[in-house]
Copies of this chain bind each other. A is one copy, B any other.
Amino acid sequence: MNQPARLASIKKPLPDELLQALKNLLEDRYSTALAVREHHGRDESSYDAMPPDVVVYAHTTGEVAAIARLCHHYQVPMIPYGAGSSLEGHILALRGGVTIDLSQMNQMVAVHAEDLTATVQAGVTRKQLNLEIKDSGLFFPIDPGADASIGGMAATRASGTNAVRYGTMRDNVLALTVVSADGRIIQTGSRAKKSAAGYDLTRLFVGSEGTLGIITEVTVKLYPLPEAISAAVCSFPSAVDAVNAVIQTIQMGVPVARVEFLDENGVRAINAYDKLSLPEKPLLLFEFHGSQHSVQEQAGLVQQIAADHGADDFEWAMQPEDRSRLWAARHNAYFALLQLRPGARAISTDCCVPISRLAECILDTQIDCERHQLIYSIIGHVGDGNFHVLMMIDPHDPDEVATAEGVNSRMVTRALAMDGTCTGEHGVGMHKMAFLIQEHGSDAIQLMRSVKHAFDPDNLMNPGKIIAWEADA
């Protein structure tokens, strides 16, 4: 897919003084090599790379602040980069500028096991965090699939498989350290579990995708590892049956920790990719957390609900290795699906609707995909009413792109008509900006834009994402 030319045309070469100052500051953590810039100018979306002019690697909040002051002084765009796993074009350098790679900011700042909190540098990934705290008896539940950085997860308001039980980054970030557009260092909160002290800057930065400030440290909630975990898979005659089982589970208040849906195409792909032999029918994958007894109780309830919706088997995976294998397969679904059409890229989109409308929304989207003969899969964190459509396309064939974008657009319109949202967890990036306006209406967008103007009056922070600045429009 091509990027809007209007933004690229605004690009101007960076001043030599800025480049020299960055080099002095960061020495070998500075690169203008094309390969490095291209690597940093793309994410997991199907957009072509739009490289920044320079990539720098920060190690401390102080360095990020110094970089921001330089960029501010020379009025140059700055784009934070974590793990590069975003999906909607979040990190493309539309106007060039400086990409600030935070992946080397991978230090644990503090673990307060006694308070169930940890503070990490933004570049710590979720897997690293869980490894670092594994002896504490605690874990960090948010799991978007990719081994994303905690800073990036905060910036995109990530969620994923465990959100149905533990919430999203919105709910699990207690406080942030943020560098502002002019290089000031802001603390947005404390380690208190709740606060009524002023405007919720933490929640304002969570999900702001680098457009309001650069998140450099994150304080998150941790949870005691459950005494017992069990998982189960079951197959259904149809997608609607599977989703109806989920709807009933949620309505009854069963505190499932995870409930994932894969359509037949998804199951076929992971069978091939992960050498599994799951029945090639719509599938639900459950996980239960709690005491031994509570886990059995939950699973018993869900098994009954599944049977009522025509599930013809309910297979247990009590052993950690079986569970890991299933979840690895689920997390590999993206790559497994790409194998359905070698050389293709995936347009991966998501939406979220009130739970009672989920079966209808998925079914209509499935019919739309079939009608257009796409190679696709619908998979989702269905306990939250959230699902994904992955469409394997040739990103350089305008007809295929148009078809996929048509499906995407109709899915969003459908979700909005059901009082849902245009994105449950992927974020807006540059791909869903028009849908954001459709969802919120121009008055709300105007308020969002006024926040952007207030925090970033020169439009230097990841410009051209989420909402169009007047100059971009």
Contacts and interface: CB of A to CB of B under 8 A. Distances in A.
A261 to B, nearest CB: 15
A308 interface: no
A455 B444 contact: no
A441 to B, nearest CB: 6
Contacts of A253: 223-224, 226
A447 interface: yes
Interface string A260-282: 00000000000000000000000
B171 A112 contact: no
Contacts of A163: 194
Contact of A116 (B159, B212, B251): B251
Given A251-B114, A354-B192, A467 B207 contact: no
B196 A424 contact: yes
A194 B251 contact: no
B191 A419 contact: yes
Contact of A197 (B297, B419, B428, B443): B428
A106 interface: no
Among A223, A421, A426, the most chain B Cβ lie within 10 Å of the Cβ of A421
Nearest to A432: B197
Interface in A292-324: 293-294, 297
A112 B422 CA distance: 20
Among A353, A419, A424, A440, the most chain B Cβ lie within 10 Å of the Cβ of A419
When all copies of this chain in the complex are counted, the total is 2
A194 B444 contact: no
A64 B117 CA distance: 42
Interface string A134-174: 00000000000000000000001111000100011011000
A384 to B, nearest CB: 5
A204 B203 contact: yes
Contacts of A293: 293-294, 297
B187 A384 contact: no
A87 B443 CA distance: 32
Given A204-B199, A204-B204, A451-B199, A194 B168 contact: yes
Contact of A188 (B188, B199, B204, B444): B444
A196 to B, nearest CB: 4
Interface stretch (A5-13, A26-34, A178-186, A232-240): A178-186
A68 interface: no
11 contacts: A159-B194, A170-B203, A171-B171, A180-B443, A187-B441, A192-B419, A196-B426, A196-B428, A197-B422, A198-B467, A203-B203
Given A187-B441, A192-B352, 11 more contacts: A116-B251, A192-B419, A195-B352, A195-B421, A196-B423, A196-B425, A196-B426, A199-B207, A200-B203, A201-B444, A290-B294
Interface of A: 112, 114-117, 156-159, 163, 167-168, 170-171, 180, 184-201, 203-204, 206-208, 212, 223-224, 226, 247, 250-253, 290-291, 293-294, 297, 352-357, 384-386, 415-416, 419-428, 432, 435-436, 439-441, 443-445, 447-448, 450-455, 466-467
